[in-house]
Chains A and B, each alone.
Chain A
Protein backbone atom coordinates (compact mmCIF):
# COMPACT_ATOMS: atom_id res chain seq x y z
CA UNK A 1 0.00 0.00 0.00
CA UNK A 2 2.88 2.35 0.69
CA UNK A 3 5.77 2.98 -1.61
CA UNK A 4 8.55 0.42 -1.33
CA UNK A 5 10.99 1.36 1.39
CA UNK A 6 14.61 0.50 1.46
CA UNK A 7 16.81 0.60 4.51
CA UNK A 8 20.55 0.78 4.18
CA UNK A 9 22.61 -0.08 7.21
CA UNK A 10 25.69 -1.79 8.53
CA UNK A 11 25.91 -5.54 8.34
CA UNK A 12 25.88 -7.99 11.21
CA UNK A 13 27.72 -10.83 12.82
CA UNK A 14 27.67 -13.02 15.92
CA UNK A 15 24.03 -13.84 15.37
CA UNK A 16 22.91 -10.24 15.01
CA UNK A 17 21.43 -8.69 11.89
CA UNK A 18 23.55 -5.61 12.41
CA UNK A 19 26.34 -4.49 14.71
CA UNK A 20 25.35 -0.87 14.69
CA UNK A 21 22.92 0.02 17.53
CA UNK A 22 20.95 2.55 15.51
CA UNK A 23 20.56 0.21 12.55
CA UNK A 24 19.41 -2.55 14.89
CA UNK A 25 16.84 -0.25 16.46
CA UNK A 26 15.31 0.61 13.10
CA UNK A 27 15.30 -3.01 11.92
CA UNK A 28 13.67 -4.18 15.15
CA UNK A 29 11.00 -1.49 14.94
CA UNK A 30 10.24 -2.40 11.35
CA UNK A 31 9.78 -6.02 12.37
CA UNK A 32 7.58 -5.12 15.33
CA UNK A 33 5.32 -2.87 13.33
CA UNK A 34 5.21 -5.09 10.27
CA UNK A 35 6.65 -2.51 7.91
CA UNK A 36 7.82 -4.07 4.65
CA UNK A 37 11.40 -2.92 4.46
CA UNK A 38 14.03 -4.27 2.15
CA UNK A 39 17.24 -4.21 4.08
CA UNK A 40 20.48 -3.51 2.27
CA UNK A 41 23.66 -4.00 4.11
CA UNK A 42 26.01 -1.50 2.66
CA UNK A 43 29.37 -1.07 4.17
CA UNK A 44 30.24 2.29 2.81
CA UNK A 45 28.44 5.07 4.64
CA UNK A 46 29.78 7.62 2.18
CA UNK A 47 27.74 5.98 -0.52
CA UNK A 48 24.61 6.51 1.53
CA UNK A 49 22.69 9.62 0.52
CA UNK A 50 23.48 11.62 3.62
CA UNK A 51 26.75 10.03 4.58
CA UNK A 52 25.27 8.49 7.68
CA UNK A 53 23.85 5.06 8.39
CA UNK A 54 21.12 3.85 8.83
CA UNK A 55 19.21 5.61 6.10
CA UNK A 56 15.74 4.99 4.78
CA UNK A 57 14.90 5.69 1.16
CA UNK A 58 11.31 5.72 0.04
CA UNK A 59 10.62 7.12 -3.43
CA UNK A 60 12.26 10.51 -3.17
CA UNK A 61 12.37 10.84 0.54
CA UNK A 62 15.63 10.23 2.34
CA UNK A 63 15.65 10.06 6.11
CA UNK A 64 18.68 9.41 8.18
CA UNK A 65 18.31 9.40 11.95
CA UNK A 66 16.59 6.58 13.83
CA UNK A 67 14.08 8.85 15.58
CA UNK A 68 13.09 10.45 12.29
CA UNK A 69 12.90 7.09 10.51
CA UNK A 70 10.59 5.79 13.22
CA UNK A 71 8.42 8.90 12.92
CA UNK A 72 8.18 8.38 9.19
CA UNK A 73 7.17 4.75 9.64
CA UNK A 74 4.50 5.80 12.11
CA UNK A 75 3.11 8.29 9.63
CA UNK A 76 2.93 5.50 7.08
CA UNK A 77 0.68 3.70 9.57
CA UNK A 78 3.30 1.25 10.77
CA UNK A 79 2.86 2.04 14.40
CA UNK A 80 4.09 -0.32 17.08
CA UNK A 81 2.88 2.01 19.85
CA UNK A 82 -0.76 1.88 18.90
CA UNK A 83 -1.88 0.25 22.11
CA UNK A 84 0.11 2.40 24.47
CA UNK A 85 -1.53 4.88 26.81
CA UNK A 86 -0.35 8.48 26.86
CA UNK A 87 1.56 7.90 30.07
CA UNK A 88 3.32 4.88 28.57
CA UNK A 89 4.25 7.00 25.57
CA UNK A 90 5.79 9.53 27.95
CA UNK A 91 7.64 6.75 29.75
CA UNK A 92 9.01 5.61 26.40
CA UNK A 93 10.60 9.00 25.78
CA UNK A 94 12.05 9.07 29.26
CA UNK A 95 13.59 5.60 29.03
CA UNK A 96 15.03 6.31 25.60
CA UNK A 97 16.69 9.42 27.05
CA UNK A 98 18.06 7.26 29.88
CA UNK A 99 19.49 4.78 27.39
CA UNK A 100 21.13 7.51 25.33
CA UNK A 101 22.59 9.34 28.29
CA UNK A 102 23.78 6.44 30.40
CA UNK A 103 24.24 3.40 28.23
CA UNK A 104 25.36 4.81 24.90
CA UNK A 105 28.68 6.32 26.15
CA UNK A 106 29.73 2.97 27.60
CA UNK A 107 28.62 1.16 24.45
CA UNK A 108 30.65 3.54 22.31
CA UNK A 109 33.58 3.11 24.63
CA UNK A 110 33.47 -0.69 24.51
CA UNK A 111 33.33 -0.71 20.74
CA UNK A 112 35.49 2.18 19.71
CA UNK A 113 37.68 3.51 22.46
CA UNK A 114 38.80 0.57 24.58
CA UNK A 115 42.16 -0.17 22.94
CA UNK A 116 42.12 -3.95 23.08
CA UNK A 117 38.54 -4.22 21.84
CA UNK A 118 39.03 -1.72 19.08
CA UNK A 119 42.25 -3.21 17.75
CA UNK A 120 41.31 -6.83 17.94
CA UNK A 121 37.63 -6.83 17.06
CA UNK A 122 35.99 -3.59 15.93
CA UNK A 123 38.60 -2.26 13.55
CA UNK A 124 39.25 -5.54 11.72
CA UNK A 125 35.53 -6.23 11.44
CA UNK A 126 34.71 -2.86 9.94
CA UNK A 127 37.88 -2.74 7.88
CA UNK A 128 37.14 -6.11 6.35
CA UNK A 129 33.77 -4.87 5.19
CA UNK A 130 34.61 -1.39 3.99
CA UNK A 131 36.20 -1.08 0.59
CA UNK A 132 39.81 -0.03 0.11
CA UNK A 133 40.99 2.75 0.54
CA UNK A 134 38.18 3.94 2.79
CA UNK A 135 38.90 1.16 5.24
CA UNK A 136 42.16 2.85 6.19
CA UNK A 137 40.40 6.00 7.24
CA UNK A 138 36.84 5.36 8.30
CA UNK A 139 37.28 3.14 11.38
CA UNK A 140 39.76 5.63 12.78
CA UNK A 141 37.35 8.46 12.16
CA UNK A 142 34.50 6.64 13.86
CA UNK A 143 36.75 5.92 16.81
CA UNK A 144 37.75 9.55 17.14
CA UNK A 145 34.14 10.68 16.93
CA UNK A 146 33.15 8.26 19.66
CA UNK A 147 35.92 9.45 21.96
CA UNK A 148 35.04 13.04 21.25
CA UNK A 149 31.42 12.47 22.08
CA UNK A 150 32.27 10.73 25.33
CA UNK A 151 34.70 13.40 26.44
CA UNK A 152 32.50 16.32 25.52
CA UNK A 153 29.39 15.01 27.18
CA UNK A 154 30.89 13.27 30.18
CA UNK A 155 34.40 14.49 30.56
CA UNK A 156 34.06 17.80 32.30
CA UNK A 157 35.53 18.48 35.75
CA UNK A 158 35.68 16.95 38.38
CA UNK A 159 36.71 14.09 36.09
CA UNK A 160 40.10 15.10 34.85
CA UNK A 161 41.52 11.99 33.24
CA UNK A 162 40.25 9.48 30.74
CA UNK A 163 40.38 6.66 33.29
CA UNK A 164 38.09 8.58 35.65
CA UNK A 165 35.67 9.27 32.82
CA UNK A 166 35.75 5.60 31.85
CA UNK A 167 35.06 4.51 35.42
CA UNK A 168 32.14 6.93 35.64
CA UNK A 169 30.54 5.91 32.37
CA UNK A 170 30.76 2.21 33.20
CA UNK A 171 29.22 2.89 36.61
CA UNK A 172 26.41 4.79 34.90
CA UNK A 173 25.93 2.03 32.33
CA UNK A 174 25.72 -0.68 34.97
CA UNK A 175 23.19 1.38 36.90
CA UNK A 176 21.20 1.87 33.72
CA UNK A 177 21.20 -1.87 33.05
CA UNK A 178 19.99 -2.50 36.60
CA UNK A 179 17.19 0.05 36.17
CA UNK A 180 16.13 -1.50 32.87
CA UNK A 181 16.10 -4.91 34.43
CA UNK A 182 13.91 -3.69 37.28
CA UNK A 183 11.55 -2.03 34.84
CA UNK A 184 11.30 -5.12 32.65
CA UNK A 185 10.69 -7.44 35.60
CA UNK A 186 9.19 -10.67 34.45
CA UNK A 187 7.12 -9.45 31.51
CA UNK A 188 8.09 -10.35 28.01
CA UNK A 189 8.38 -6.80 26.71
CA UNK A 190 8.54 -3.45 28.43
CA UNK A 191 4.86 -2.71 28.01
CA UNK A 192 3.25 -6.11 28.27
CA UNK A 193 3.03 -8.67 25.53
CA UNK A 194 3.57 -6.66 22.37
CA UNK A 195 6.86 -4.98 21.53
CA UNK A 196 6.97 -1.21 21.10
CA UNK A 197 9.40 1.58 20.28
CA UNK A 198 11.08 1.28 23.66
CA UNK A 199 11.70 -2.42 23.06
CA UNK A 200 13.26 -1.56 19.70
CA UNK A 201 15.62 0.98 21.25
CA UNK A 202 16.46 -1.26 24.20
CA UNK A 203 17.16 -4.16 21.84
CA UNK A 204 19.31 -1.94 19.62
CA UNK A 205 21.51 -0.97 22.55
CA UNK A 206 21.55 -4.24 24.49
CA UNK A 207 22.03 -6.78 21.72
CA UNK A 208 25.51 -5.62 20.59
CA UNK A 209 26.71 -5.65 24.20
CA UNK A 210 25.22 -9.08 24.72
CA UNK A 211 26.37 -10.85 21.60
CA UNK A 212 29.61 -9.42 20.32
CA UNK A 213 32.66 -11.24 21.66
CA UNK A 214 35.17 -8.75 22.95
CA UNK A 215 38.34 -9.37 24.95
CA UNK A 216 37.35 -6.75 27.53
CA UNK A 217 33.80 -7.51 28.49
CA UNK A 218 32.92 -5.94 31.83
CA UNK A 219 29.64 -4.61 30.49
CA UNK A 220 28.72 -7.93 28.93
CA UNK A 221 29.44 -9.75 32.17
CA UNK A 222 27.23 -7.33 34.07
CA UNK A 223 24.48 -7.82 31.49
CA UNK A 224 24.73 -11.58 31.77
CA UNK A 225 23.96 -11.27 35.46
CA UNK A 226 20.58 -9.80 34.55
CA UNK A 227 18.85 -12.84 33.07
CA UNK A 228 15.62 -11.08 32.18
CA UNK A 229 17.47 -8.69 29.84
CA UNK A 230 19.33 -11.59 28.19
CA UNK A 231 16.07 -13.44 27.75
CA UNK A 232 14.55 -10.28 26.25
CA UNK A 233 17.29 -10.06 23.60
CA UNK A 234 17.16 -13.75 22.81
CA UNK A 235 13.37 -13.68 22.49
CA UNK A 236 13.45 -10.85 19.98
CA UNK A 237 16.21 -12.52 17.99
CA UNK A 238 14.43 -15.84 17.78
CA UNK A 239 10.94 -14.49 17.18
CA UNK A 240 11.60 -11.61 14.84
CA UNK A 241 14.92 -12.21 13.18
CA UNK A 242 14.99 -15.91 12.33
CA UNK A 243 11.96 -15.85 10.13
CA UNK A 244 13.25 -13.61 7.36
CA UNK A 245 13.23 -14.85 3.76
CA UNK A 246 16.54 -15.76 2.20
CA UNK A 247 16.63 -12.60 0.04
CA UNK A 248 18.07 -10.61 2.86
CA UNK A 249 18.65 -13.15 5.54
CA UNK A 250 20.64 -12.12 8.57
CA UNK A 251 23.93 -13.77 9.43
CA UNK A 252 22.17 -15.99 11.97
CA UNK A 253 20.11 -17.66 9.28
CA UNK A 254 23.22 -18.23 7.19
CA UNK A 255 25.07 -19.93 9.98
CA UNK A 256 21.99 -22.02 10.76
CA UNK A 257 21.87 -23.15 7.14
CA UNK A 258 25.57 -23.82 7.08
CA UNK A 259 25.28 -25.82 10.29
CA UNK A 260 22.43 -27.82 8.86
CA UNK A 261 24.48 -28.61 5.78
CA UNK A 262 27.44 -29.68 7.86
CA UNK A 263 25.21 -31.87 9.98
CA UNK A 264 23.72 -33.54 6.91
CA UNK A 265 27.17 -34.18 5.54
CA UNK A 266 28.30 -35.68 8.82
CA UNK A 267 25.30 -37.97 9.00
CA UNK A 268 25.88 -39.10 5.43
CA UNK A 269 29.52 -39.77 6.07
CA UNK A 270 28.72 -41.72 9.19
CA UNK A 271 26.15 -43.86 7.48
CA UNK A 272 28.62 -44.61 4.69
CA UNK A 273 31.26 -45.55 7.20
CA UNK A 274 28.88 -47.70 9.15
CA UNK A 275 27.98 -49.57 5.98
CA UNK A 276 31.65 -50.12 5.18
CA UNK A 277 32.23 -51.27 8.73
CA UNK A 278 29.42 -53.76 8.51
CA UNK A 279 30.96 -55.21 5.36
CA UNK A 280 34.36 -55.44 6.99
CA UNK A 281 32.97 -57.00 10.11
CA UNK A 282 31.35 -59.66 8.02
CA UNK A 283 34.64 -60.30 6.23
CA UNK A 284 36.96 -60.26 9.28
CA UNK A 285 35.15 -60.85 12.54
CA UNK A 286 38.21 -60.26 14.80
CA UNK A 287 38.06 -56.44 14.35
CA UNK A 288 37.34 -55.04 17.84
CA UNK A 289 34.26 -52.82 18.18
CA UNK A 290 36.24 -49.96 19.68
CA UNK A 291 37.12 -48.83 16.18
CA UNK A 292 33.66 -47.27 16.22
CA UNK A 293 34.79 -44.45 18.52
CA UNK A 294 37.79 -43.59 16.35
CA UNK A 295 35.49 -43.55 13.37
CA UNK A 296 33.08 -41.18 15.02
CA UNK A 297 35.82 -38.77 16.07
CA UNK A 298 37.47 -38.75 12.69
CA UNK A 299 34.19 -38.43 10.79
CA UNK A 300 34.10 -34.70 11.54
CA UNK A 301 37.32 -34.10 9.61
CA UNK A 302 38.99 -36.35 7.12
CA UNK A 303 37.30 -39.37 5.73
CA UNK A 304 40.42 -40.91 4.27
CA UNK A 305 42.15 -41.95 7.52
CA UNK A 306 39.37 -44.12 8.98
CA UNK A 307 39.01 -45.72 5.58
CA UNK A 308 42.71 -46.53 5.54
CA UNK A 309 42.48 -47.80 9.10
CA UNK A 310 39.66 -50.08 8.21
CA UNK A 311 41.15 -51.64 5.15
CA UNK A 312 43.30 -54.51 6.26
Chain B
Protein backbone atom coordinates (compact mmCIF):
# COMPACT_ATOMS: atom_id res chain seq x y z
CA UNK B 1 0.00 0.00 0.00
CA UNK B 2 2.85 2.35 0.74
CA UNK B 3 4.16 1.97 -2.73
CA UNK B 4 0.87 3.18 -4.20
CA UNK B 5 1.28 6.45 -2.36
CA UNK B 6 4.88 6.88 -3.22
CA UNK B 7 4.09 6.24 -6.85
CA UNK B 8 1.17 8.61 -6.78
CA UNK B 9 3.14 11.39 -5.16
CA UNK B 10 6.05 10.86 -7.51
CA UNK B 11 3.69 11.07 -10.43
CA UNK B 12 2.46 14.38 -9.13
CA UNK B 13 6.08 15.49 -8.91
CA UNK B 14 5.91 16.07 -5.21
CA UNK B 15 9.07 15.30 -3.22
CA UNK B 16 8.63 12.85 -0.34
CA UNK B 17 10.70 11.22 2.35
CA UNK B 18 9.90 7.73 3.57
CA UNK B 19 10.33 7.04 7.27
CA UNK B 20 9.88 3.74 9.03
CA UNK B 21 8.45 3.77 12.50
CA UNK B 22 7.20 0.93 14.62
CA UNK B 23 4.38 2.94 16.11
CA UNK B 24 3.32 4.31 12.76
CA UNK B 25 -0.18 2.90 13.12
CA UNK B 26 -0.76 4.93 16.23
CA UNK B 27 0.58 8.15 14.76
CA UNK B 28 -1.84 7.93 11.89
CA UNK B 29 -5.13 9.76 12.42
CA UNK B 30 -7.16 6.88 11.11
CA UNK B 31 -5.07 4.05 12.45
CA UNK B 32 -4.25 3.02 8.91
CA UNK B 33 -0.98 3.15 7.13
CA UNK B 34 0.54 4.92 5.41
CA UNK B 35 -0.04 8.54 6.11
CA UNK B 36 1.61 11.73 5.05
CA UNK B 37 2.73 14.55 7.24
CA UNK B 38 2.77 17.91 5.49
CA UNK B 39 3.55 21.05 7.44
CA UNK B 40 1.22 20.73 10.36
CA UNK B 41 -1.33 18.51 8.67
CA UNK B 42 -1.54 14.76 8.79
CA UNK B 43 -3.59 12.89 6.23
CA UNK B 44 -4.01 9.16 5.84
CA UNK B 45 -5.52 6.75 3.32
CA UNK B 46 -5.57 6.98 -0.44
CA UNK B 47 -8.90 8.74 -0.88
CA UNK B 48 -8.27 11.65 1.49
CA UNK B 49 -4.65 12.01 0.34
CA UNK B 50 -5.74 12.26 -3.29
CA UNK B 51 -8.27 14.92 -2.35
CA UNK B 52 -5.74 16.76 -0.22
CA UNK B 53 -3.26 16.82 -3.08
CA UNK B 54 -6.01 17.92 -5.43
CA UNK B 55 -6.92 20.78 -3.13
CA UNK B 56 -3.32 21.89 -3.23
CA UNK B 57 -3.56 22.09 -6.99
CA UNK B 58 -2.07 18.80 -8.23
CA UNK B 59 -4.36 16.32 -9.87
CA UNK B 60 -3.70 13.45 -12.19
CA UNK B 61 -7.19 12.77 -13.41
CA UNK B 62 -8.29 16.18 -14.59
CA UNK B 63 -7.86 15.27 -18.22
CA UNK B 64 -10.40 12.46 -18.05
CA UNK B 65 -14.01 12.85 -19.07
CA UNK B 66 -16.93 11.69 -16.93
CA UNK B 67 -17.21 8.19 -18.34
CA UNK B 68 -13.47 7.64 -17.97
CA UNK B 69 -13.55 8.86 -14.40
CA UNK B 70 -16.34 6.38 -13.71
CA UNK B 71 -14.23 3.64 -15.27
CA UNK B 72 -11.22 4.64 -13.23
CA UNK B 73 -13.18 4.49 -10.00
CA UNK B 74 -14.62 1.13 -10.97
CA UNK B 75 -11.17 -0.32 -11.69
CA UNK B 76 -9.83 1.05 -8.43
CA UNK B 77 -12.62 -0.74 -6.61
CA UNK B 78 -11.82 -3.92 -8.51
CA UNK B 79 -8.20 -3.71 -7.40
CA UNK B 80 -9.21 -3.01 -3.82
CA UNK B 81 -11.83 -5.70 -3.80
CA UNK B 82 -9.81 -8.47 -5.39
CA UNK B 83 -6.11 -7.81 -4.99
CA UNK B 84 -6.16 -6.28 -1.57
CA UNK B 85 -8.47 -8.93 -0.16
CA UNK B 86 -6.39 -11.66 -1.76
CA UNK B 87 -3.23 -10.21 -0.23
CA UNK B 88 -4.90 -10.08 3.17
CA UNK B 89 -6.18 -13.63 2.74
CA UNK B 90 -2.74 -14.91 1.90
CA UNK B 91 -1.11 -13.10 4.74
CA UNK B 92 -3.58 -14.00 7.45
CA UNK B 93 -5.78 -16.91 6.45
CA UNK B 94 -3.36 -19.29 4.83
CA UNK B 95 -1.97 -21.22 7.77
CA UNK B 96 1.44 -21.95 6.37
CA UNK B 97 2.15 -18.36 5.44
CA UNK B 98 0.79 -17.10 8.73
CA UNK B 99 3.05 -19.28 10.81
CA UNK B 100 6.23 -18.77 8.91
CA UNK B 101 6.09 -15.23 7.67
CA UNK B 102 3.30 -13.05 8.94
CA UNK B 103 3.45 -13.71 12.66
CA UNK B 104 7.19 -13.12 12.98
CA UNK B 105 7.09 -10.09 10.72
CA UNK B 106 4.11 -8.43 12.35
CA UNK B 107 5.29 -9.00 15.87
CA UNK B 108 8.95 -8.25 15.29
CA UNK B 109 9.11 -4.78 16.90
CA UNK B 110 7.60 -6.04 20.13
CA UNK B 111 8.89 -8.27 22.93
CA UNK B 112 7.34 -11.60 23.78
CA UNK B 113 4.44 -12.16 24.60
CA UNK B 114 3.15 -8.94 23.12
CA UNK B 115 4.18 -9.93 19.61
CA UNK B 116 2.13 -13.13 19.75
CA UNK B 117 -0.90 -11.43 21.27
CA UNK B 118 -0.95 -8.60 18.74
CA UNK B 119 -0.54 -10.86 15.77
CA UNK B 120 -3.24 -13.25 16.94
CA UNK B 121 -5.53 -10.31 17.50
CA UNK B 122 -4.91 -8.99 14.00
CA UNK B 123 -5.42 -12.45 12.55
CA UNK B 124 -8.72 -12.87 14.33
CA UNK B 125 -9.84 -9.48 13.05
CA UNK B 126 -8.95 -10.27 9.47
CA UNK B 127 -10.61 -13.68 9.60
CA UNK B 128 -13.81 -12.10 10.90
CA UNK B 129 -13.80 -9.72 7.99
CA UNK B 130 -13.21 -12.51 5.51
CA UNK B 131 -16.13 -14.41 6.96
CA UNK B 132 -18.42 -11.39 6.65
CA UNK B 133 -17.67 -10.91 2.98
CA UNK B 134 -17.82 -14.58 2.17
CA UNK B 135 -14.15 -15.23 1.51
CA UNK B 136 -13.71 -17.51 4.50
CA UNK B 137 -15.07 -20.46 2.56
CA UNK B 138 -12.62 -20.00 -0.29
CA UNK B 139 -9.66 -22.25 -0.75
CA UNK B 140 -6.26 -20.98 -1.79
CA UNK B 141 -6.84 -22.16 -5.35
CA UNK B 142 -10.04 -20.15 -5.58
CA UNK B 143 -8.31 -17.05 -4.27
CA UNK B 144 -5.52 -17.50 -6.81
CA UNK B 145 -8.10 -17.94 -9.53
CA UNK B 146 -9.76 -14.66 -8.50
CA UNK B 147 -6.41 -12.90 -8.61
CA UNK B 148 -5.84 -14.37 -12.04
CA UNK B 149 -9.19 -13.08 -13.23
CA UNK B 150 -8.42 -9.63 -11.84
CA UNK B 151 -5.00 -9.54 -13.51
CA UNK B 152 -6.58 -10.70 -16.75
CA UNK B 153 -9.06 -7.82 -16.58
CA UNK B 154 -6.29 -5.32 -15.80
CA UNK B 155 -4.15 -6.71 -18.58
CA UNK B 156 -7.01 -6.44 -21.06
CA UNK B 157 -7.69 -2.90 -20.01
CA UNK B 158 -4.04 -1.89 -20.24
CA UNK B 159 -3.54 -3.51 -23.63
CA UNK B 160 -0.52 -1.99 -25.30
CA UNK B 161 -0.88 1.47 -23.82
CA UNK B 162 1.80 2.88 -21.55
CA UNK B 163 -0.73 3.77 -18.85
CA UNK B 164 -4.31 2.80 -18.18
CA UNK B 165 -5.69 5.99 -19.61
CA UNK B 166 -3.26 6.29 -22.43
CA UNK B 167 -0.66 8.98 -22.11
CA UNK B 168 -0.95 10.23 -18.57
CA UNK B 169 -0.60 8.26 -15.38
CA UNK B 170 -3.52 8.48 -12.99
CA UNK B 171 -4.38 7.28 -9.49
CA UNK B 172 -5.32 3.95 -10.97
CA UNK B 173 -1.81 3.45 -12.32
CA UNK B 174 -0.32 4.26 -8.93
CA UNK B 175 -2.67 1.85 -7.17
CA UNK B 176 -2.12 -0.99 -9.60
CA UNK B 177 1.63 -0.47 -9.55
CA UNK B 178 1.71 -0.56 -5.76
CA UNK B 179 -0.19 -3.82 -5.53
CA UNK B 180 1.46 -5.62 -8.40
CA UNK B 181 4.95 -4.63 -7.38
CA UNK B 182 4.26 -5.85 -3.86
CA UNK B 183 3.03 -9.17 -5.19
CA UNK B 184 5.96 -9.55 -7.51
CA UNK B 185 8.62 -8.74 -4.99
CA UNK B 186 7.48 -10.02 -1.62
CA UNK B 187 8.81 -13.41 -0.81
CA UNK B 188 6.23 -15.92 0.30
CA UNK B 189 6.30 -19.64 0.84
CA UNK B 190 5.11 -20.35 -2.66
CA UNK B 191 5.55 -18.25 -5.73
CA UNK B 192 2.12 -18.98 -7.10
CA UNK B 193 0.78 -15.50 -6.60
CA UNK B 194 3.66 -13.80 -8.34
CA UNK B 195 3.56 -16.44 -11.07
CA UNK B 196 -0.03 -15.51 -11.76
CA UNK B 197 0.95 -11.89 -12.27
CA UNK B 198 4.02 -12.79 -14.33
CA UNK B 199 1.76 -14.55 -16.80
CA UNK B 200 0.71 -11.15 -18.06
CA UNK B 201 3.73 -9.62 -19.69
CA UNK B 202 2.20 -6.21 -20.23
CA UNK B 203 1.56 -5.90 -16.50
CA UNK B 204 5.17 -6.74 -15.60
CA UNK B 205 6.40 -4.32 -18.27
CA UNK B 206 4.09 -1.69 -16.81
CA UNK B 207 5.54 -2.16 -13.32
CA UNK B 208 9.09 -2.02 -14.58
CA UNK B 209 8.38 1.12 -16.57
CA UNK B 210 6.92 2.95 -13.60
CA UNK B 211 9.71 1.79 -11.36
CA UNK B 212 12.31 3.06 -13.77
CA UNK B 213 10.58 6.31 -14.44
CA UNK B 214 9.62 7.32 -10.95
CA UNK B 215 11.77 5.44 -8.52
CA UNK B 216 15.16 5.07 -10.01
CA UNK B 217 16.31 8.57 -9.39
CA UNK B 218 14.78 8.71 -5.94
CA UNK B 219 16.20 5.61 -4.27
CA UNK B 220 19.84 5.55 -5.22
CA UNK B 221 21.19 3.31 -2.53
CA UNK B 222 18.30 0.97 -1.88
CA UNK B 223 17.31 0.08 -5.38
CA UNK B 224 17.63 -3.60 -4.62
CA UNK B 225 14.37 -5.46 -4.32
CA UNK B 226 15.16 -7.08 -0.97
CA UNK B 227 15.80 -3.77 0.77
CA UNK B 228 12.55 -2.37 -0.54
CA UNK B 229 10.51 -5.28 0.68
CA UNK B 230 11.99 -5.19 4.14
CA UNK B 231 11.39 -1.46 4.40
CA UNK B 232 7.79 -2.02 3.44
CA UNK B 233 7.32 -4.75 5.96
CA UNK B 234 8.20 -2.44 8.81
CA UNK B 235 5.81 0.20 7.58
CA UNK B 236 2.96 -2.33 7.45
Contact = CB atoms under 8 A, between A and B. Distances in A.
Given A87-B157, A158-B30, A183-B67, A97 B74 contact: yes
A157 B77 contact: no
A250 to B, nearest CB: 27
Interface in B169-184: none
Contact of B74 (A86, A156, A158, A179): A179
Contacts of A259: none
A158 B47 CA distance: 13
B70 A182 contact: yes
B28 to A, nearest CB: 9
A286 interface: no
Interface residues of B, number: 30
| Majority-rule SS of B interface residues | helix
Interface residues of A, number: 28
A180 B77 CA distance: 14
Interface in B44-74: 66-67, 69-71, 73-74
Interface stretch (B105-113, B147-155, B190-198, B202-210): B147-155
Nearest to A93: B153
A97 B131 CA distance: 18
| Majority-rule SS of A interface residues | helix
Contact of B77 (A65, A101, A152, A182): A101
Nearest to A181: B70
B133 interface: yes
Contact of B80 (A101, A145, A149): A101
Given A156-B31, A179-B70, A185-B67, A91 B157 contact: yes
Nearest to A102: B77
Contacts of A179: 69-70, 73-74
A185 B67 CA distance: 9
Interface of A: 65, 86-87, 89-91, 93-95, 97-98, 100-102, 145, 148-149, 152-153, 156-158, 175, 179-180, 182-183, 185
Interface of B: 29-32, 66-67, 69-71, 73-75, 77-78, 80-82, 128-129, 132-134, 149-150, 152-154, 156-157, 159
